[in-house]
Structure 1
Amino acid sequence: MLPIWLLVNYQGRYDYPFIRPERNTLQNSLSSQKLCSSSSMAEATQRIAVVTGANKGIGLELCRQLALKGIMVVLTARNEKRGVEAVEKLKEFGLSDRVVFHQLDVTDTTSVASLADFIKTRFGKLDILVNNAGIIGCTMDGDAFRALGVDLTAEGVEVDWSKIILTQTNEQVQECVETNYYGPKRMVEALITILQLSDAPRIVNVSSSAGRLKRITNESAKGVLSDVESLTEERVDGVLNKFMKDFKEGALEDNGWPAYLSAYVAAKVALNGYTRLLAKKYPSFLINCVCPGYVKTDITFNAGFLTVEEGAESLLRLALLPDGGPSGLFFFRNQVSPF
């Protein structure tokens, strides 16, 4: 539980390494010139964050936790009505002045560009990008999924997905890849110039333990994604292009891809590789990917063992890493884990 003094607006200082609001000691006798100067200083020191897929679940909770830390948050969602309703929920915590909504579909280049223009015009920079939006890429039997009763992120857990996954169509697979891999890529490409204006830029890509390389046996893909020194965007894209080709030809298992949850696994494997590539390309940034654990969200049919508060804490930690912190790593919750 966060201390009650984080729930009020800028009343004194609080423990956060980048934002240190001054005590409100201005008197009515101050000139309007000094007031303007103070306002400009506040705008200059305010940190700005964007969270995708933030109208519910971990994304919404992360927006709350960031705002409680004094950060201005751009809450985004594909559905405008749900996004606006999410911002309304945060008003219960007195955070309406620290959270704004902007519609965003990470699969739509025009939508991503519109968000980038909004941030540049409204704030002039961006400090934190959290690529949280994601989908599962298939239709599952929710009751059968909940009946598993096991932590799917734990080591050694075996599941007979044939009894749970109902459909995995070409359209579902394509949308999953577009959302879970190309979505974060579009966001980075559109926002990188304003992230470079930050004194402490951070990128957090929300991944999954399902995206670890051991989840696939395609040796070519594993070789490409393991060779960080030779890794390029074209090579990462090539891994997914090969996956899509194998899927359309009905040759997933023959080529070392999982038969079930295949798009989700392939997209997260690629996202992890892209994260390592970004960290190398932008050494002044801190860029990491993270599995928040088995959290009670819609994507797990609320069968997870962790609360959204616990899940969001892992993302928050990486979003607020101090200078000199780790970059280019995969975290399982708060622990570094092998790719």
Structure 2
Amino acid sequence: MASSDSKVVFITGANQGLGLAIIEVAGLRYPENVYILGSRDVGKGEEAVQQLREKGVKARVDVVQLEVTNDEHITAAVDYVAKTYGRLDVLVNNAGMLRGVGVREDDPAAIRATYASLFDVHVTSVAVLTLMFKPLLYRAPAPLVVNVTSGLASVARLLDPARRMFRVPPYGASKVGLNGLTAHLQVGENDRAADDAAHPEAPSLGPRIRFFISNPGVLSTSFTRFHPLGKTPQLGAESAVRLIGDAEAKYDDYIQWEFEGGEMRKVPW
């Protein structure tokens, strides 16, 4: 069991890139926490833990096999957290995939497969994982869910003629879907908490879960094919890490946040 002074933090897609950087930055800043590194390949996850140790991370880091589209993996991950820690304080839905660049527009099967795979990872799997972890989140004193989005999911910025953004409709649309899912989950949770407050005599599921959206910006990682103008993964991790450590509840929930110019900023929908 984790102590009451620490947080149990589960990060998906965390054996490389942004997910690994989130554990690195958070682990150095909040070494009292427990970090659970979700990785499709356990061996690669263990290699990632060794990299964290070499960078000075002393916090406890567990490796759990997790392919977010695999329901058996999800069930096993929830069971592991339940038996090992009895609660989950923070869930970071970071796992993602980049497809849709150059997809043929005259091939309906390819178009359908591209959109289906992206929405499965970025929307459906996030919903499944979050709902399956809900009972453990309710056991935490101040539960958080941080969903990692993309700048392409800001419709306001996309439609701004002064901005020139990448054109990857399948990927961008799936991240818009993720943002919408986050808002719906938060509103539903707000309604539940309000109902609890109106009926204090009835048993409560637990404290209100706060949902956040983290926009890391364009990064220089394998995910973006090491874009020459991208941020380091550690700098991209900053918005998620600051949300993880938001003990004072100074950040509004179900809002998109980014870390730019040395400060946290809201991203328009």
Judge same fold: TM > 0.5, yes or no: yes
Trace 1:287-326 onto structure 2 (pairs within 5 A): 287-303=211-227, 304-325=229-250, 326=252
Structure 2 residue 64 is matched with structure 1 residue 122: no
Is the CA contact (8 Å cut-off) linking 2:97 and 2:223 kept in structure 1? yes
1:115 positional shift: 0.3
Structure 2 residue 13 is matched with structure 1 residue 106: no
1:266 positional shift: 1.6
1:169 positional shift: 4.6
1:271 positional shift: 0.7
Quickly say closer, same or farther: Cα 1:127–1:76, change in 2 above 3 A.
same
Structure 2 residue 236 is matched with structure 1 residue 329: no
Indicate the SS of the match to 1:293: coil
- TM-score, length of structure 1 as denominator length: 0.64
Aligned equivalent of 1:265, options 172, 185, 194: 172
Is the CA contact (8 Å cut-off) linking 1:211 and 1:265 kept in structure 2? yes
CA displacement, residues 160-218 of structure 1 (integer Å, 9 cap, x when unaligned)? x99xxxx965333322111111121111111011011111111110001111234789x
Show the counterpart of 1:78: 40
Indicate the SS of the match to 1:88: helix
Gaps in structure 1 of 5+ consecutive residues: 1-39, 141-160, 218-259
Is the CA contact (8 Å cut-off) linking 1:211 and 1:269 kept in structure 2? yes
How many percent identity over aligned positions? 27
Residue 278 of structure 1 aligns with an amino acid whose one-letter code is: L
Aligned equivalent of 1:274, options 181, 193, 196: 181
The structure with the larger Rg is 1
Residue 335 of structure 1 aligns with an amino acid whose one-letter code is: R
Q: CA–CA distance in 1 between the matches of 2:96 and 2:225?
A: 14
Quickly say closer, same or farther: Cα 1:210–1:97, change in 2 above 3 A.
closer
Is the CA contact (8 Å cut-off) linking 2:17 and 2:223 kept in structure 1? no
Show the counterpart of 1:47: 7
Q: CA–CA distance in 2 between the matches of 1:97 and 1:297?
A: 24
Residue 16 of structure 2 aligns with an amino acid whose one-letter code is: K
CA RMSD of aligned residues (A): 2.5
Is the CA contact (8 Å cut-off) linking 2:27 and 2:59 kept in structure 1? no
Q: State the number of aligned residues.
A: 234
Trace 1:203-218 onto structure 2 (pairs within 5 A): 203-214=145-156
Indicate the SS of the match to 1:274: helix
Residue 307 of structure 1 aligns with an amino acid whose one-letter code is: T
